[in-house]
Structure 1
């Protein structure tokens, strides 16, 4: 047998390099009496820690350790009528520099009549050059109760990181009984022709953390003043609270990751009657 040695000369076309991509899919269905279905594939995993006295919990894990361009994660959580579930993540999600394309994340939540779902993932850290396309779709039935908290960190201040290039699209679509209830969209792109939304006084004004908390319950508006009081005076935070039509919305701009975490802990401690999942304190 003869081996042939091939020598590539300048100008010789080379086959494209195929990069390994992260693919993950996780789904959980919670009945009023406990777990009804659990599915996980690829890098997406779900842990169910033992809980005492509160709703069952589902802890999301991305075993890949982060996402970059071309990766995709799909998560779905459904709570049957009368059930309750808290969904969180084991740690912050990291979105690394993209070599092409955006990381895609699709989260789909369904909450039955009389049921409750708390969607409480920990922070998403965006590195320089990151590209993320994320969408949250929520379907509520009847008197379902829903709480969501999402947050971004633009680089890590302790490491001296700055963001010069970024492509971020984050969308929330929430419906109740088929009718639109709440829509939100955040689009940030850097560099951007003479303006820098991360440092522009009319945008993030140099803050490295951005957080959103949305509560949809019959008593949401009644918690408005208490929530303002809970987060007022916290160092390194700028915030705004609004309550209307059974919804309570909080926006947080934070100086750094520690200030962002303080604000989220204070806010969630006020609007929730149960302790936060233990992973939030690790």
Structure 2
């Protein structure tokens, strides 16, 4: 750990970011972006004309014990935003304090949110708490994913110690569609079959045709993959030891379902191609 990281762990970053998207006759605009601490965004891009593509920037060097990050995203009626990041998020090892990341997304009527972050890497010894909450109103559509990497598998480094608590909530009209929790501690990865990569994707609203299409795309992941459809919420989960297979599967699923959910062809964010 660098000197800057050790110093940050003593005090911890307190960072927040609040984004508000608004529909106009021409396109969705970023109407407001308020931040404090090392959280910010790049200027919006419009590779599709009306959809707002936005890149969220996490703190330089990653997240360490004692950091507390709070992100709030609000989509006003009829708006459409695609949010991603230039690179992976990193949770470094901690000598005691927890790092906390809280993210809330409020989708008003007839909005579209595509939440497509890059990988999240947990270094051995990291102590991290993550809480993601999506609140959808009538007519809102959601395409979202997360890909967790435990340790640094390419270096033969496992998540041998540390603690990760992750909670995901999805609500529709103030009624829960999904509430699930993952807790890993003390190097015990039996709950995830000792696999270093954990992927999850959610799509709403979905149907049986989409479920069948997704299951076909999961074939390369073999045993550790599955998809369920409950009350219109399509949930995809998988485990793997190969990040390239994970990333390929996730992007292929998104490419397949985006036209069906949004009636729009898949347009990759520019940052994915660099």
**Do they superpose with TM above 0.5?**
yes
User: Could you report, residue by residue, the CA deviation over 1:20-73 in whole angstroms, capped at 9, with x for unpaired residues?
Assistant: 422221111111122211112211011134222162022111133211111011
Aligned to 1:8: none
CA gap of 1:173–1:44, structure 2 versus 1, over 3 A, is same
Q: Which ranges in structure 2 are unaligned for 5 or more consecutive residues?
A: 1-7, 260-265
SS at match of 2:192: coil
Determine which structure has the larger helix proportion and give its number: 2
TM-score, structure 2 normalization: 0.87
RMSD: 1.9
Q: CA deviation at 1:237?
A: 7.1
Residue from 23, 29, 34 that aligns with 1:32: 23
Preserved CA contact (<8 Å) 1:22 1:64: no
CA gap of 1:82–1:18, structure 2 versus 1, over 3 A, is closer
User: Could you report, residue by residue, the CA deviation over 1:188-228 in whole angstroms, capped at 9, with x for unpaired residues?
Assistant: 1114xxxx3x2x3xx322321000001111x4443000111
Residue from 1, 5, 10 that aligns with 1:19: 10
TM-score, structure 1 normalization: 0.85
SS at match of 1:223: helix
- Greater Cα radius of gyration, structure 1 or 2: 1
Q: Which ranges in structure 1 are unaligned for 5 or more consecutive residues?
A: 1-16
CA gap of 1:176–1:20, structure 2 versus 1, over 3 A, is same
Preserved CA contact (<8 Å) 1:156 1:257: no
Q: CA deviation at 1:235?
A: 5.8
Q: CA deviation at 1:106?
A: 0.6
- Residue correspondences, number: 256
Preserved CA contact (<8 Å) 1:28 1:77: yes
Q: Distance in 1 between matches of 2:194 and 2:170?
A: 30
Corresponding position: 1:210 with 2:198 = yes
Preserved CA contact (<8 Å) 1:122 1:280: no
